[in-house]
């Protein structure tokens, strides 16, 4: 029961980024966010970390500490990329936005 | 394995991202950013929960919290994207102006301008002829491929926008040329049915809606179609013929009815485009015999332009090129503005320089008074100590043992050293001051030499040195007597100091034209060549002492417009030369 619910929720959380990517591509055709690539790579890394985090729970049904720590480090990498991207966007916009 | 470290690090990183995005939102309050902020807010929540879960919560169902939060965050991101997308498509709000790509904005602006005429033309002759024009334009300019007349009888550019790919330099000019070709054709068709004067009014209205950031790309359209073409359309047959013959300007073509085809002009640089306009304007004015009325009308046409495009036109670099009689008032205003800016910059520079000088002078003064106060504060108690030590040495305060006498001698010597050091300190302002306050007078060199010898003979006698003085009779110097005496005395004292026992010091002073040349030579150990320049620098000392004497001498001599230098042969001795003006100028 637990595994089924977890599987369905994880599946939804993995389908939604596909939808988000579709919107992102539409946006990139209209707008000029130069750091778009950085944001995407940050978000993809986060997603990979999240998948690793969920894998033991879905397939084994319990936590594996080594994989959890590994996923945290992958997520950390994604967050570092995002910090850089958000910071650059903030610096780019600072002079323009009123 | 330590789980807490990466979780806490992730928590901190997510908080940083959240803070930056909140910062962006506070400045640029848009709904889509708020959705992003909400999504980012869920990240730290997730990590706080992870800490809580790994420490306390052991229930397996607690894991469901993670995908749930992730789903909510993803929905928030999608909402933000949808919100931004709909706002960009509807061309609403600031994000449209700020974020929309320049090429997309340009296509849309040209699309709107074209639609302005298509709407009117289709009412008069139906949409078929417009479709034919568009097909012809696409054939000529493939970049327009994707543009089509929709069921609403309007030009649709969405497919062209989608095919634009990345923003490429030079693409903007290509878009401008293609669309200008289309618009020229539409205007020509419209002008066949409606008086051109009315079309100009329509064009001014249409151009008023263009976004400021891309208005510069419409400059040729404004200059040729709105400003010049009305005059050509009204010109007489022979005038137009003359104009068509004489106006052979690359990128511009004048038709039989006076229509201007300017779309090739986008192949030239922006400055060149302006120059070509000015050239054509001059030719037109020449054909119309420089009629003041035409100049007035052109000026009026410029003044009627909407504000969003005026910024691009009312630039000093462009306006100044226009012939006399056109926009003269604006030229004066812009010129005085330019001059005013130049003057302001100049004044600011002068003020900054004056402020720097003032600050420097203040600092100099503060430094001098600080040294003065400190030196005097030390000197006063030192004098009292010296008096009592002298009294004790002379046994006026009671008998002394041999040991006490010896020790008191040492104290006296050290007091003397300190007194000398304080005297040197008091001279520091004399080195630093850029322009010494000189009390100039005419005096005989012999007078100061006598005083110097009198002051230094005791010192020389102690070292069994011989001082010879040879001063030309009635040799005078015009300057500050006290300072010059101080300068020469410093050199003589140095000579005595660095000359071994039984050595010789000779002082000579002679006339050399309008100058007095003073030489102080010694038979000391000499100075290395590499040191000759350095010895005049403040605090440069070869032996004991503060190293101020020669620096002071140099400053004093140079303040009088004189010269000082040294020559030396190591092992044989040194000669210092001072040259000073003999008389008042």
Residues of chain A with C-beta less than 8 angstroms from the C-beta of B82: 23
pLDDT tens digits along B266-316: 888 888 888 889 998 888 888 887 778 888 888 888 888 888 888 788 877
Q: What is the pLDDT of residue B117?
A: 87
Per residue in B109-148, pLDDT (tens digit) is: 898 889 888 888 887 878 888 888 999 999 999 888 888 9
C-alpha span between B346 and B333 (Å, rounded): 20
Return the bridge partners of B516, or none.
B511, B580
| B542/chain A closest Cα distance in angstroms | 57
The residue of A22, A48, A71, A76 whose CB has the most chain B CBs within 10 angstroms, and thus the best one to mutate to test that interface, is A76
Q: Please give, rounded to a whole number of angstroms, the shortest distance from the CA of B27 to a CA of chain A.
A: 7
Residue A98 pLDDT: 44
- Chain B positions touching A19 (Cβ under 8 A) are 78
Q: Which residue of A has its CA nearest to B17?
A: A83
How far is A9 from chain B, CA to nearest CA, in Å? 6
B82 touching chain A per CB within 8 A: yes
Q: Do A32 and B101 touch (CB under 8 A)?
A: yes
Contact A52, A74 (CB under 8 A): yes
- Is B164 an 8 Å CB contact of chain A? yes
pTM: 0.51
Reading phi first (left if > 0) and then psi (alpha if -120 to 50, else beta), residue B165 is in left
| pLDDT at position B521 over 90 | yes
Rounded to the nearest angstrom, the minimum Cα separation between A94 and chain B is: 8
Percent of chain B residues topping a pLDDT of 90 = 16
- Closest CA in chain B for residue A56: B63
Radius of gyration of chain B (CA): 46
pLDDT single digits (tens) B2-24: 788 889 999 999 999 999 989 88
Q: What's the DSSP call for residue B226?
A: I
CB B179 within 8 A of CB B110: yes
> Cα dist. B343→A73, B330, B350, B514 in Å?
60, 20, 10, 46
Q: Taking all residues of chain B, what is their mean pLDDT, rounded to a whole number?
A: 84
**Contact A96/B at CB under 8 A:** yes
**What average pLDDT score do residues B30-41 get?**
89
For residues B310 and B181, which has the higher predicted lDDT (pLDDT)?
B181
Any A CB within 8 A of B42 CB: no
- pLDDT tens figures, B380-420: 888 888 888 888 888 888 888 888 888 888 898 888 878 87
Q: Which of residues 93-132 of B touch A (CB under 8 A)?
A: 98-102, 104
Q: Is A26 within 8 Å of B24 (Cβ atoms)?
A: no
Secondary structure (3-state) at B260: strand
Q: What is the pLDDT of residues B240-256, one digit of tens each?
A: 888 888 878 888 888 88
Chain A residues with CB inside 8 Å of B26's CB? none
Q: Which of B15, B67, B92 to mutate to test the interface with A (most CBs of A within 10 A)?
A: B67
Q: In 10 A of CB B407, how many CB atoms?
A: 12
Interface test with B, best of A18, A28, A29, A35 (most B CBs within 10 A): A29
Residues of chain B with Cβ-Cβ distance to A75 below 8 Å are 6, 10
Inform me whether the C-beta atom of residue B151 falls under 8 Å from chain A C-beta atoms.
Answer: no
- What pLDDT, on a 0 to 100 scale, did the predictor assign at position B97? 64
Q: Does A18 touch chain B (CB under 8 A)?
A: no
Contact assignment for B67 to A2 by CB distance below 8 Å: no
Tell me which of A50-64, B28-42, B360-374, B549-563 is least confident.
Answer: B360-374
User: Residue B78: which of A12, A13, A16 has the nearest Cβ?
Assistant: A16
By Cβ distance, the residue of B20, B71, B100 closest to A31 is B100
**Residue ranges covered by each domain of chain A:** 2-94
Residue B478 phi, psi (nearest 5): -105, 110
CA distance linking residue B411 with residue B391, whole number of Å: 13
- B21 near A CB under 8 A: yes
Q: Give B14's contacts in chain A (Cβ within 8 Å).
A: 79
Q: How many CB atoms lie within 10 A of CB A96?
A: 9
Question: Are B98 and A5 within 8 A, CB to CB?
Answer: no
In whole angstroms, give the CA distance from residue B548 to residue B414: 19
CB of A66 within 8 Å of a chain B CB? The answer is yes
């Amino acid at each position: 029961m637990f595994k089924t619910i977890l599987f369905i929720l994880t599946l939804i959380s993995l389908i939604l980024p596909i939808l988000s990517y579709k919107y992102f591509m539409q946006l990139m055709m209209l707008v000029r966010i130069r750091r778009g690539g950085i944001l995407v790579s940050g978000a993809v890394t986060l997603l990979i970390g999240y998948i690793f985090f969920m894998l033991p729970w879905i397939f084994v049904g319990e936590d594996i500490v080594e994989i959890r720590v590994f996923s945290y480090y992958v997520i950390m990498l994604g967050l570092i990329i995002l910090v850089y991207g958000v910071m650059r966007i903030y610096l780019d916009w600072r002079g323009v936005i009123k | 394995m330590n789980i807490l470290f990466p979780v806490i690090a992730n928590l901190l990183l997510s908080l940083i991202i959240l803070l930056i995005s909140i910062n962006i939102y506070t400045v640029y309050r848009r709904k889509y950013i708020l959705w992003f902020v909400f999504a980012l807010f869920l990240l730290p929540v997730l990590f706080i929960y992870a800490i809580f879960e790994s420490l306390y919560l052991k229930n397996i169902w607690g894991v469901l919290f993670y995908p749930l939060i992730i789903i909510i965050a993803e929905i928030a991101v999608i909402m933000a994207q949808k919100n931004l997308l709909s706002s960009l498509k509807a061309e609403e709000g600031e994000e449209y102006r700020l974020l929309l790509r320049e090429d997309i904005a340009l296509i849309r602006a040209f699309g709107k301008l074209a639609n302005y005429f298509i709407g009117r033309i289709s009412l008069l002759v139906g949409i078929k002829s417009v479709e034919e024009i568009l097909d012809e334009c696409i054939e000529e300019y493939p970049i327009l491929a994707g543009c089509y007349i929709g069921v609403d009888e309007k030009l649709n550019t969405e497919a062209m926008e989608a095919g634009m790919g990345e923003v490429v330099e030079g693409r903007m000019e290509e878009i401008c040329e293609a669309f200008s070709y289309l618009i020229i054709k539409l205007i020509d068709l419209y002008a066949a049915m409606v008086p051109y004067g009315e079309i100009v009014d329509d064009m001014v209205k249409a151009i008023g809606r263009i976004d400021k950031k891309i208005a510069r790309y419409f400059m040729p359209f404004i200059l040729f179609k709105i400003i010049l073409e009305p005059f050509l359309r009204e010109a007489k047959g022979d005038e137009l013929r003359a104009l068509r013959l004489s106006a052979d300007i690359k990128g511009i073509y004048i038709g039989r009815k006076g229509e201007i085809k300017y779309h090739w002009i986008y192949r030239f640089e922006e400055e060149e485009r302006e120059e070509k306009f000015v050239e054509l304007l001059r030719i037109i004015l020449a054909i119309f015999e420089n009629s003041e009325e035409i100049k007035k009308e052109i000026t009026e046409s410029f003044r009627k332009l909407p504000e969003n495009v005026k910024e691009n036109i009312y630039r000093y670099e462009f306006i100044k090129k226009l012939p006399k009689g056109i926009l003269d008032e604006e030229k004066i205003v812009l010129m005085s503005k330019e001059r005013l800016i130049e003057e302001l910059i100049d004044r600011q520079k002068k003020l900054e320089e004056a402020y720097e000088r003032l600050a420097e002078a203040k600092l100099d003064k503060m430094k001098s008074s600080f040294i003065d106060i400190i030196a005097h504060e030390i000197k006063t108690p030192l004098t009292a100590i010296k008096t009592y030590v002298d009294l004790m040495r002379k046994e006026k305060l009671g008998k002394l043992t041999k040991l006490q006498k010896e020790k008191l001698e040492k104290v006296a010597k050290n007091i003397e050293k300190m007194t000398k050091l304080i005297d040197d300190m008091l001279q520091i302002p004399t080195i630093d001051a850029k322009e010494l306050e000189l009390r100039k007078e005419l005096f005989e060199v012999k007078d100061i030499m006598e005083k110097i010898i009198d002051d230094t003979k005791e010192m020389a006698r102690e070292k069994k040195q011989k001082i010879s003085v040879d001063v030309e009779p009635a040799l005078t110097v015009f300057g500050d007597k006290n300072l010059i005496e101080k300068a020469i005395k410093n050199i003589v004292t140095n000579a005595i100091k660095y000359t071994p026992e039984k050595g010789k010091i000779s002082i000579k002073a002679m006339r050399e034209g309008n100058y007095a040349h003073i030489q102080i030579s010694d038979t000391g150990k000499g100075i290395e060549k590499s040191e000759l320049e350095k010895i005049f620098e403040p605090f440069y000392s070869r032996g004991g002492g503060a190293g101020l004497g020669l620096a002071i001498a140099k400053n004093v001599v140079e303040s009088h417009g004189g010269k000082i230098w040294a020559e030396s042969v190591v092992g044989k001795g040194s000669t210092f030369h001072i040259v000073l003006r003999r008389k008042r100028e």
